[in-house]
Amino acid sequence: MSGSVRVLLLLLALDSVAPEGVPGREGGNVLFIMADDLRPVLGCYGDSLVKSPNIDQLASKSQVFLNAYAQQAVCAPSRTSMLTSRRPDTTRLYDFNSYWRVHAGNYSTMPQYFKSKGYFTMSVGKIFHPGVSSNHTDDYPYSWSVPAYHPPSNLYENEKMCKGKDKQLHANLLCAVNVTEQPGGTLPDIENADEAVRLLRSRANSSAPFFLAVGFYKPHIPFRIPQEYLSLYPIEKMSLAPDPDVPKRLPPVAYAPWTDLRKREDVSDLNVSFPYGPIPKDIQLGIRQHYYAAVSYMDRQVGRLLSALDELGLADSTQVVFLSDHGWSLGEHGEWAKYSNFDVVTRVPLIFYVPGVTSHPDSSGTSTFPFIDVFDKAEFSFTNHKEIKRMVELVDIFPTVSALAGLRVPKPCIGISLQEELCTEGDNLAHTFRHRERGENAEAIAFSQYPRPADTPQNNSDLPSLEEIKIMGYSLRCWDYRYTLWLGFNPKTFEANVTDVHAGELYMFASDPGQDNNIYNDSEHSMIIRKMASLSHTVTLQTRLKLQLLYFTAGMKTR
């Protein structure tokens, strides 16, 4: 048997085995908190500028995954992938225009699974992406015991609500507002926190466990946030991205031209050249200021939710998960959005609080999650309870939350799983809560992907519809480097042509942590491509990329 075949069989075997889980309290509640477009700019992830005391306090009693990655850096595909534990090539959702149960397969979701086990499941705010991709119902009644809640004030989110320098109202990107002047005197995330607290109170004395998912809208654009949060980040203390220029060796197909920002009135008025810009430096600083302010505004709502959990006596019986659907570029590589495979848009915060596992009740009666006002002048310092450095993925969440709740973990999906209603393409990470991390980092791999309509930036490059997709960028993130291939893609068969390589990217983190120097063309890849082409078409593309990684690593070691 050849060495390459032995490696292939080993990888297939590893893909079919789920790690043994260590459950938490059987039947415990789940509070699932999701931010939108939040990269790990949090104190618990080492950001010294941000003020995020409530999330940091949660992390101090939790297990924090430092290297968690989304499967596609755009809302609907990422959320559908995470909630079904299937990758975008299985959900066949790369845009916003299809419902997986009709378009791909009748896959069970995480809240649906908990509902089937006797949980009362509830959705507040943005969990599934609303619209066609969740059947205009947020997947009710499959996933939820009651219809999902959406805040009324969200209807105004993209309207002319932002007062400009001319004192008129505009649909701007930068949109710090006086909340009392907004419709209803409120904002969507304030309403989300209000409703979530109400639901917690309604379930506090119920005999049935609950699964409450709360999706906050911020820091997603537009930055329609209470104006007082800007005072936390004086513009003179803001700095530009460390790498604000488009990398010289970046393949044009890899660039995201941030067309959604260009449509905002204040950005449109700048007449920034397409596709590479750049945005004037003073506006760059303003965008970064508003993003950070939006994070602190969202942190306050999380604090309200956690303190209510505490006050109701539910903190000792409720697993809390905090995450984001993907990140957001703040000027790195000359980009201002998501829509790519770089770490700044694929890496996300992922925090698990498991009572009795990551934290134990305090006999002194001290609150578990006292509310912390972000405007408090006191300095708050928290240390993460436990940090996990290995690469993990959002598809890992479904099996992990199930295991920690004491439920049977869905079986691994084998091969092409379009007919399997309940299986997982992720790993059960529950064993990491009981065991010290040992040498797992080098072997762990995270996959992301992004579609493009052409080899060069177009007006629809950020969000091509399915029929417009011509190229798919498959990206593999390991401990040492990120490796991406842009492959020809057939949107009718949902297949990538592994021999039709349009471009490649390779970034070595030891010398290039910002992923600014693409050395793909510095290495010989023809042998790798030939090996990939010879593999059976029944092998998943993720497995092929794993093989590429092994071949490439072997080549690097022999140089």
Q: For 421-479, write each residue's pLDDT tens digit.
A: 999 999 999 999 988 887 667 678 999 999 999 999 999 999 999 999 999 999 999 99
Q: How confident is the model at residue 532 (pLDDT cuts 50, 70, 90)?
A: very low
Where exactly are the structural domains of the chain? Answer: 3-557
Please say whether the beta carbons of 318 and 29 come within 8 A. Answer: yes
Asked whether residue 559 carries a pLDDT value surpassing 60, the answer given is no
pLDDT of residue 547: 53
User: How many C-beta neighbours within 10 Å does residue 63 have?
Assistant: 22
State both tokens at 325.
């659907």
Query: For residue range 3-49, what is the model confidence (pLDDT) as tens digits?
Result: 333 333 333 333 333 334 444 445 599 999 999 999 999 999 999 99
478 has catalytic annotation: no
385 has catalytic annotation: no
Q: How far apart are CA 1 and CA 6, in angstroms?
A: 7
Q: How confident is the model at residue 378 (pLDDT cuts 50, 70, 90)?
A: confident
pTM given for the model: 0.92
Query: For residue range 273-330, what is the model confidence (pLDDT) as tens digits?
Result: 999 999 999 999 999 999 999 999 999 999 999 999 999 999 999 999 999 999 999 9
Q: How far apart are CA 299 and CA 376, in angstroms?
A: 13
Q: Residue 450: beta bridge partners?
A: 473
User: How many C-beta neighbours within 10 Å does residue 533 have?
Assistant: 11
Give the DSSP letter of residue 85.
T
For the residues of 63-131, what is the DSSP string, one character each?
Answer: EEEEEEE-SSSSHHHHHHHHHHT--HHHHT-SSSS--HHHHT-----HHHHHHHTT-EEEEEESSSPSS
More confident residue, 35 or 542: 35
More confident residue, 96 or 5: 96
- Domain 3-557 part of CATH 3.40.50.10090: no
From 449, 509, 506, 515, select the one nearest 479 (Cα to Cα): 509
Asked whether residue 537 carries a pLDDT value surpassing 70, the answer given is no
Asked whether residue 82 carries a pLDDT value surpassing 80, the answer given is yes
pLDDT of residue 417: 83
Residues recorded for the chain: 559
Distances (CA, A) of 30 to 156, 201, 214, 316, 331: 31, 14, 11, 11, 36
Peptide bond into 278 cis (omega under 30): yes
Contacts of 530 (CB under 8 A, 6+ apart): none
Q: How far apart are CA 35 and CA 326, in angstroms?
A: 9
Euclidean distance between the first and the last CA atom of the chain, given in angstroms as a whole number: 26
pLDDT of residue 545: 59
Peptide bond into 457 cis (omega under 30): no
From 290, 46, 311, select the one nearest 173 (Cα to Cα): 290
Pick the catalytic residue from 44, 103, 129, 175. Answer: 129
